[in-house]
Amino acid sequence: MPTGRIVVKVPGSTANLGPGFDTLGMALSLFTWVSLEHAAATRISLLGDNMSGIPKDKSNLVYRVAQAVFEKAGAHVPELDIVICSDIPLTRGLGSSAAAIVAALVAANALIGNPLSQNELFQMATALEKHPDNVGASLFGGIVAAAWDGTSAEYVRLEPPAGMEILVAIPEFQLSTKKARNVLPQHVSLADAVFNVSHSSLLTAALATGRMDVLRHAMRDRLHQPYRSALIPGMDIILENAGDHGALGAVLSGAGPTLLLLVDSRDPKRGQLEGFLKDVMSKEDIEIAARWLEPCLHGPLVRYLEAGDPDYRLEPRDVLSRAKAEVGA
């Protein structure tokens, strides 16, 4: 079994893209870093502004997922030195839990010499997250169309259209995926099911062929957004009108509360969008952080630090900042 420190960088993601509920995901240029190494006693260090409320004991998601890898691989590594750092705001619909799961899976697998295949990691990630859209995007990068039948997941990766940018409006308040799933109905009408199958198919085909002109029509949804809109004041106005202010399409990102706009980088009207988002949300007394992002084309980047590596003995914060610089911050 190799010894040393593993550092993994994994992209966050947006799920659903409107009608592709629990199916479509896209990796984003926001990242989580996880470092793992063998230790005499477990220690979990949390770095950065997005770690509030994350446990530092063995109930931590990264620790638990790493143990699931060791168990599946028949390895025994009960004690770990873990460092976690993330750009991805928690519980905002930008896939922080999926990125943490994928980072833990990939880092733990690398720590014991990569006995599990990428497909085995995808199956484990999907079973842990309970839907394949975010974890698929974090694991494979780009846009992922994935289906899970409760036992096994399959996916196809697409290259995002060139020149497509993303503007997100991240509200100050948190909304857990669990809460946002609890407002969804158990049954939907055949008409709504047909609406989503057709729009999700159209959207996937449009993304695969670069037909950005179709996105506004294709990104409409009847399965989750109408039920979740009561949890996000201002959402309906933004989804309905963003197209008139320069967006190709506007949707709830994952389970929300972040709102996500796809934008053609060549559109001269794109400069209006931030003001439009802020105006609508301030009328609802909600502060937002507006951030321009890009699709992330890669999945996890892994760096292995051997005991002889000059970075190996550094403090976790320094190791992560060096690793960030090396694999791209």
Ligand X SMILES: Nc1ncnc2c1ncn2[C@@H]1O[C@H](COP(=O)(O)OP(=O)(O)O)[C@@H](O)[C@H]1O
Residues making up the binding site for ATP? 89-99
**Choices 72-80, 92-100, 116-124, 194-202 (CB under 6 A): range interacting with ligand X:** 92-100
Q: Residue 96, interface with ligand X (CB under 6 A)?
A: yes
Residues 175-204 that bind ligand X (CB under 6 A): 176-177
Contacts to ligand X from residues 243-262, by CB under 6 A: 254
Query: How many Cβ atoms are within 10 Å of 89's Cβ, its own excluded?
Result: 21
Helix (H, G, I), strand (E, B) or coil at 157: strand
170 binds, among ligand LJ64HWYM, ligand X, none (CB under 5 to 8 A by kind): none
Residue 95 in contact with ligand X, rule: CB under 6 A = yes
Q: Which residues bind ligand LJ64HWYM (CB under 6 A)?
A: 15-16, 21-22, 93-95, 97, 131, 133-134, 177, 181, 224, 254-255
16 binds ligand X (CB under 6 A): no
Are 27 and 2 in contact by the 8 Å Cβ rule? The answer is no
Two tokens at 28? 């984003």
Amino acid at 198: S
Is residue 29 within 8 A of residue 293, CB to CB? The reply is yes
Out of ligand X, ligand LJ64HWYM, none, what residue 133 binds, judged by CB under 5 to 8 A for its kind, is ligand LJ64HWYM
Measured from the CB atom, is 260 or 323 closer to ligand LJ64HWYM? Answer: 260
Answer whether 43's CB lies under 8 Å from 35's CB.
no
- How many other C-beta atoms can be found within 10 angstroms of the C-beta atom of residue 67? 17
In the complex with ligand LJ64HWYM, the residue whose CB is nearer, 106 or 255, is 255
Known binding site: residues? 89-99
Instruction: Write the DSSP symbol of residue 83.
Output: E
Nearest to 81 by CA among 41, 48, 131, 47: 41
Length of the chain: 329
Binding site for ligand X (CB under 6 A): 32, 54, 60-62, 84, 86, 90-98, 100, 176-177, 254
